[in-house]
Chains A and B, each alone.
Chain A
Amino acid sequence: MDAIILQILNGLDKGSAYALIALGLTLIFGTLGVVNFAHGALFMIGAFCAVTVSRILTLSYTTVDETRTDFLGNPMEIEVPYIHNLVGQSAGDFMIDWAVPISILFAIPVMIAIGVIMERGLIKHFYKRPHADQILVTFGLAIVLQEIIKFYYGANPIPTPAPSAFRGSFDFGAFLGLGANSIIYPYWRLVYFAFSLVIIGGVFAFLRYTTFGMVVRAGMADRETVGLLGINIDRKFTIMFGIAAAVAGLAGVMYTPINSPNYHMGMDFLVLSFVVVVVGGMGSLVGAVLAGFLLGILESFASMAAVLETLPGINQIVIYLVAIIILLTRPRGLMGRKGVMEE
């Protein structure tokens, strides 16, 4: 029992990341009809927003502290972050500690701007071209973006810790009455899961309950008619692209404490996220989110020792295996709409 709960929990954080990336991919595909291979790169850029913010916050200068000495007896040199001078010592330390959550504020405008520039500057010219061309040009863009990041941040993963308040683990076993220490789960992964639920809920609520969302949904269903009604649907879709980019970016920001970001993390996630989108059904937002969590949990179940004993190596291939089976038996994916990218 506790092993099963543990695997479900383990699957949730990866599943959250899959779900968030797949949500953005589906949003872009559903509105603009573009297959965006650069979406993983947006996730990666989001993660590097967090790296940038934590670097800016820890920018420091060296001073000499006369009261203390180092082991040679000379006055000790200490590094003082500029932020201490700006907001005071305790507030500065707090901000450095909370660098990752603070990066969200920084990442939202940056990601929306990147998304809008990408759509206006490049993707716009590819609406009329075949899907293969869209895949190829965004694939090229992904290479360019990841190489730029590699040039400025290097090829090694950069550790970006969570706030110290969330660094420990939560004892789920005691919480559920299954005995102490039977299920240990890091706090930050819970935060990540909750965060992804909030973002997913926010996107759905935005589409469901605002006028803007209503227009976008109408545009997804019948773009031309909405255009004929005198609504500038292109501008709305551009903003949706920005929002999709922001969703991917925020997924990246919050993922940094779980996995130290490196320049190719986007590509690693992208391949799986595409599988997720296809399993969920091209163009279905609910399908993308469900499939994301489902495949994340499935993957973690497949890496249980008991499963690996009977089926060695299954944890590496289970997602692809499921994708193949679903594509062959349910061509539209789990919740795909009829007529969307069927052939």
Chain B
Amino acid sequence: MLGLTRKDAILLAIVTVVALLAPFILNPFPTNSGFAQFNAGYPDLMQRFAIFGIFAIGFNILFGLTGYLSFGHAAFLGVGSYAGIWMMKLLTANIIPGIAASIVVAGLFALIVGFISLRRSGIYFAILTLAFAQMSYALAYSVLTPITGGETGLQLKLNDPRVLDGALAPGERAHANLFGLDMTSSIEMHFGAWQFTFNTGYYIAALVLVLAFYLSIRIFRSPFGMMLRAIKSNNTRMTYTGLNARPYALAAFVISGMYAGLAGGLMVAMDTQVGPERMFWTASGEVVLMTILGGAGTLIGPVLGAGLIKYMENIISKINSGILHEWFYWMPDGLEDFVITLVYPFVGKGWHLTLGIVFMLVVIFLPGGLVEGGQRLRRLAQGKRAKKSATQTNPAE
């Protein structure tokens, strides 16, 4: 089906179903229960899941397949965002031209950066991409202010030309839309104590995520993907067989830059604003964290990692000492305070600490990320079953 093997088709189907049902899956707790703060099914966060999922999938095509560790990938996301918002300011608030421009401009920028950076590999490549990203950040922040809006960034304004759109009625603001479908519009559904929000912006982002995921499966399974893996496993031997690795790596770099641009364009489509901090090197570090945490080189890993990090960022960071006291009120007083002092550094503003520790544990014990963890668990379960059946059937020597 769709040129996929049965296994990949099942994976794609699962991702599609989860993406479509996300408003239900992410809101498992009734709104008035104490666990409601663990609900992640609000539009803003769901959009982030999808967008950063796309970003991480793209990063994985470069890092997971070719092994080139780019520490400046946020630059492409930022450049894509700027291209997108300019399209929305000049042409139309419809998101299609904006996203198209994001992909094209980010792709071209990636072509330039990749052409230069791919002359080196290993840590030098990481430093080169980092240097380019930091340069883009510094320039967007200072000299390029007429184009980038400097520190304040860019927003949609009332006096933007928007040549393709009709004039706005007085008092009306331009909304990012898809042929009239407003990105911010949502339908709310109440179901007993539960509340589910279906947001247009999220569903468009989710649709793009599924498409991006499908494309990445095709790339992983294609002869091109095989070439990229060859670069990772043994670049020298590949060269000796008469193949030039550089064009393949460059193609992977550009594709991955275009994914980042797509993510940037979608981000602009959702919140109609950009700032230079989107290109800062910590943003590049974040996508590395996502990919490694989920499992570099696997199909589903980056999406899982992106989801986990964004969930932690938005949910764990909301827990404050008041909520902790609510949770542990059943403990004896002294013990309660003790437990809260223990837990407190890891939640709320300290969620980065939790992230750092989880990340270190994953790198140390599970180099394949969450996906490897899942596989190990499955093998453990299967191994037990296999052993059991082995004892029953009395193995032939």
Contacts and interface: CB of A to CB of B under 8 A. Distances in A.
B359 A143 contact: yes
Nearest to A155: B349
A327 B127 contact: yes
B353 A132 contact: no
Interface string B248-268: 000000000000000000000
Given A142-B356, A275-B130, 13 more contacts: A129-B367, A131-B123, A136-B359, A143-B356, A143-B359, A144-B356, A151-B350, A313-B138, A313-B139, A320-B131, A327-B124, A341-B122, A343-B122
A147 B135 contact: no
Contact of B132 (A137, A282, A320): A320
B123 A278 contact: yes
B141 interface: yes
Interface stretch (B3-11, B113-121, B380-388): B113-121
A35 B126 CA distance: 12
A323 B125 CA distance: 12
Nearest to B120: A327
B87 to A, nearest CB: 25
Q: Which of B131, B235, B360 has the most CB of A within 10 A?
A: B131
Contacts of B124: 278, 327, 331, 341
Contacts of B119: 328
Given A275-B131, A282-B123, A313-B138, A136 B363 contact: yes
Contacts of B131: 275, 320-321, 323-324
A267 to B, nearest CB: 8
What 3 A-B pairs are tightest by C-beta distance, nearest first? A313-B143, A143-B356, A316-B138
Given A139-B285, A316-B142, A320-B132, A147 B353 contact: yes
B67 interface: yes
B357 interface: yes
A135 B350 contact: no
Interface in B129-153: 130-132, 134-135, 138-139, 141-144
A212 B357 CA distance: 36
B363 A137 contact: yes
B139 A278 contact: no
B281 interface: yes
A135 B121 contact: no
A87 interface: no
A317 B139 CA distance: 8
Interface string B185-215: 0000000000000000000000000000000
A135 B123 contact: yes
Interface of B: 67, 69, 116, 119-124, 126-128, 130-132, 134-135, 138-139, 141-144, 235, 281-282, 285, 288, 292, 345, 349-350, 352-353, 355-357, 359-360, 363-364, 367
Given A317-B139, A327-B127, A271 B134 contact: yes
A307 interface: no
B352 to A, nearest CB: 5
A277 to B, nearest CB: 9
A327 B128 contact: yes
Nearest to B136: A317
B385 to A, nearest CB: 32
A41 to B, nearest CB: 11
Contacts of A205: none
A202 interface: no
Given A151-B345, A313-B139, A313-B142, A278 B288 contact: no
A37 to B, nearest CB: 10
Interface string A137-176: 1011111100110110000000000000000000000000
Nearest to A270: B281
Contact of B122 (A131, A313, A320): A131
Interface in A293-343: 312-313, 316-317, 320-321, 323-324, 327-328, 331, 341, 343
